[in-house]
Amino acid sequence: MTLQLATSVKYLKGVGPKRAEALARLGIRTVGDLLYHAPHRYLDATTVTPLARVRVGQEASCVGHVVTTGVLPTRRGLRVFRAVLKDDSGLLECAWPGQPFLERQIKPGQLLLVTGPVRYYHGRQLVPREFVVLADQGEAAPDGGLVLPVYPATEGLTHRQIRGLIQQHLDALLPLARDPHPPRLSAAVGVPELGAALAAVHRPRTVEEAEAGRRRLAFDEFFDQQLVQARARHLAKRARAGIRFVLKKELTTRLKQQLPFELTGDQRRAVREITTDMTAPLRMHRLLMGDVGTGKTVVALFAMLLAVENDYQAAMMAPTELLAEQHSATLTRLLGPLGLVPELLIGRLTAAEKNAARERIAGGAARLIVGTHALIQESVRFHRLGLAVIDEQHRFGVEQRAALVEKGDAPDVLLLTATPIPRSLALTLYGDLDVTELRERPPGRGTVKTALRDEAARRKIYEFIRGECAAGRQAYVIYPVIDESERADLKAATTMAEDLQEVFAEFSVGLVHGRLKAEERDATMRAFRDNAVHILVATSVIEVGIDVANATVMLIEHAERFGLAQLHQLRGRVGRGAAASHCILLSNAPDAAARLKAFTQTTDGFKIAELDLQERGMGELAGARQSGGVPLRYANFATDLPLLEAARRAAGEIIARDPALARPEHAPYRERIVTRYERGFELFRVG
Ligand code: ADP
Ligand code: MG
């Protein structure tokens, strides 16, 4: 049988039924899967120190044969596993405190690689942070150099076994991988050719070589993904004849004149980009991404007015009643001078009110409509919907967003989000959307000072809050609740609210959390908005986008339990008025101090989003899977932005010349996508 990438791993020497099963758990079913099973890290032993030359206080990597092993208890009852290593230069003791079970893994005769700090304990002693068994007793030391790939492993299959399997077959597998790119593309991007890349990933001479190989694989996955997105965009544009609005400069110009403030430069640019989209013959499909408080609503209002001055209706959907009310109030205020009144449709209205609103929407008397999910109910018909704006778009499901859009005949679509994501991620997640960023903050806002404090400061913090409330201002106290369905977790937040009500007897303390009924939660939030509740205890589910300019303190309990992006969202709730605001992170976790400290030193949401991404890593990004069903395996968002952009450019050029990848030289691309992407076949169907 001739070996092909699609051949089952079962046919490889050294893979029996048991191993095949273990490999399948890692997603390895074919020999191609095995070839593309890249190490998740490397141990660099190119700079090993001879055992005799290891010094106390150093970090060292060493290689030696295990001479003796044993488990010894310390005086404090901790059991320490010890192994003495030997090389040509001499001996060195290694110690693993608290890991007596290693006795079953590390045996005399083995060749061991260890890295870690060296301390003094009756002599020099290395405390390995990591170790790798390079060879068992009697086995030859591994060839292929001293940079050791470490593979994702699974139960019943160690990374050493995987490494052995890959090394054993690598020479036979490498020729099977045919490079889909012409050499000049790889050269232009600055990545190695495919065979060399795979060899470098599995058998690197240096860590740099391995990294170059990884970058090539990352480029390929970006490239495939961008091909799919370029194709989707191409198809969508063809099917996207839209409304061609005309800039009449009636309502839009009047709004500009009547605005109580100057638009920021970013807002002006955003309005320009949106206007260009809306006046073009294609449908707009744009994401407006801006940190909390950057003023997205008024930008959306310009778009809405452009639709309205063209005799279309414009609708804005928000995820909560409170937000919809807030938008309606903002629009009412800004549109008053223009003689326009927005229509509000939310569940809380009486049946008669809702009926009347629905009639005005269906008849066309309502021209700007603001609402919640109530807008997408079947009973709602629009007279002539020309623009759909979706606020906090990530709070809606795909179908809900589609349901609003389908209320019109190919209306333009503007999505708003206050969750900034790095441009790299935006390109991969929203590759079929155009993206506008608002970074600049409107002037005249009070600053937000961020501080990190521990339990010892609690009294002082309370006194500070008391002072702010006494001066007529308000405070948020956020309590982390991991699982809202966990009674114990909620109880902590509830108890906290009760305690605070005692501490702040002269003020009113409210509590909101995810298990409250929507009406109850909205009632408390309204009371807070109206300054009838002074201190609001909330779990992390606190309303997005809520604008209470009078709140000046954000106290976050157990700040270490929040991601940086989440902390930033919470901090965005204050600093909305002219008064100086304070965000206080309360944390007693020393491990988290560094990252929390870093957070206190920046207010740039995009920068925080990047830090957050680095912190969580790519693999855990739930969203990454949205990008066509194929998770990214090799890419590293912290470093690969230029690669992504190169991939996007190259893919865009190819799709522009050959939209269906019908040319023979593009056959390898087609093949990869049709097999790897769920919708690939559909997208690249010929004809
Ligand atoms: P977000 O982007 O978080 O949705 P909003 O649209 O709610 O922000 O705006 C926050 C506040 O800033 C609102 O009170 C709004 O009226 C105000 N605002 C928006 N743009 C400007 C500006 N250019 N100058 C001053 N205030 C502004
Ligand atoms: Mg908003």
Q: Where in the sequence of the chain do the CATH 2.40.50.140 domains occur?
A: 49-145
Q: What is the pLDDT of residue 322?
A: 83
Q: What is the pLDDT of residue 365?
A: 97
Give just the sign of the alpha carbon dihedral 134, 135, 141, 144. negative
Q: Cα(673)–Cα(628) distance, rounded to whole angstroms?
A: 11
Residue in 450, 477, 445, 451 with CA at minimum distance from that of residue 293: 445
* Ligand 2 centroid – CA 295 distance (Å): 7
Atom number in ligand 1 closest to CA 296: 2
Residue in 138, 143, 93, 114 with CA at minimum distance from that of residue 48: 114
* Ligand 1 centroid – CA 575 distance (Å): 12
Q: What is the pLDDT of residue 608?
A: 84
Residue 344 phi, psi dihedral angles, 5° rounding? -110, 125
The residue assigned the tokens 């087609």 is 670
- The answer to whether the CB of 292 is under 6 A from ligand 1 is yes
Which whole-number Å values give the CA distances from 22 to 8, 404, 589, 660, in the listed order? 14, 46, 38, 38
Give just the sign of the alpha carbon dihedral 34, 38, 40, 42. positive
User: Given ligand 1 and candidates 547, 574, 606, which is best to mutate, with the most ligand atoms within 8 Å of its CB?
Assistant: 547
Question: For atom 22 of ligand 1, which residue has the closest CA?
Answer: 442
Q: Where in the sequence of the chain do the CATH 1.10.150 domains occur?
A: 1-46+148-177
Q: What is the pLDDT of residue 534?
A: 97
Its CATH class, for the domain covering 49-145, is mainly beta
Contact 173, 63 (CB under 8 A): no
Nearby residues for ligand 2 (ion, Cβ within 5 Å): 545
Q: What is the pLDDT of residue 626?
A: 38
- Give Cβ neighbours of residue 121 (< 8 Å, ≥ 6 apart): 95
Q: What's the pTM value of the predicted model, to 2 decimals?
A: 0.63
- The answer to whether the CB of 298 is under 6 A from ligand 1 is yes
Nearest ligand, measured from the Cα of 390: 2
Q: Cα(217)–Cα(672) distance, rounded to whole angstroms?
A: 13
Q: What is the pLDDT of residue 629?
A: 44
* Ligand 1 centroid – CA 350 distance (Å): 31
Give the pairing type, strands 41-44 and 59-73: unpaired
- The answer to whether the CB of 296 is under 6 A from ligand 1 is yes
Multiple choice CATH, 448-603, 3.40.190.10, 3.40.30.10, 3.40.50.300, 3.10.20.90? 3.40.50.300
Which segments in the chain show pLDDT lower than 50?
A: 618-629, 687
Q: What is the pLDDT of residue 634?
A: 87
Q: What is the pLDDT of residue 617?
A: 52
- The answer to whether the CB of 544 is under 6 A from ligand 1 is no
- Joined tokens for residue 512: 């909101």
Q: Where in the sequence of the chain do the CATH 3.40.50.300 domains occur?
A: 251-438, 448-603
Which spans in 550-640 are helix H?
564-571, 593-600, 605-616
* Ligand 1 centroid – CA 50 distance (Å): 64
For domain 251-438, the CATH architecture is: 3-Layer(aba) Sandwich (3.40)
Q: What is the pLDDT of residue 179?
A: 93
Q: Cα(242)–Cα(232) distance, rounded to whole angstroms?
A: 17
The residue assigned the tokens 């018909």 is 381
For domain 1-46+148-177, the CATH architecture is: Orthogonal Bundle (1.10)
Q: What is the pLDDT of residue 46?
A: 74
> pLDDT tens across 73-83, in order?
877 778 899 99
Nearest ligand, measured from the Cα of 293: 1
Residue in 103, 40, 81, 90 with CA at minimum distance from that of residue 63: 90
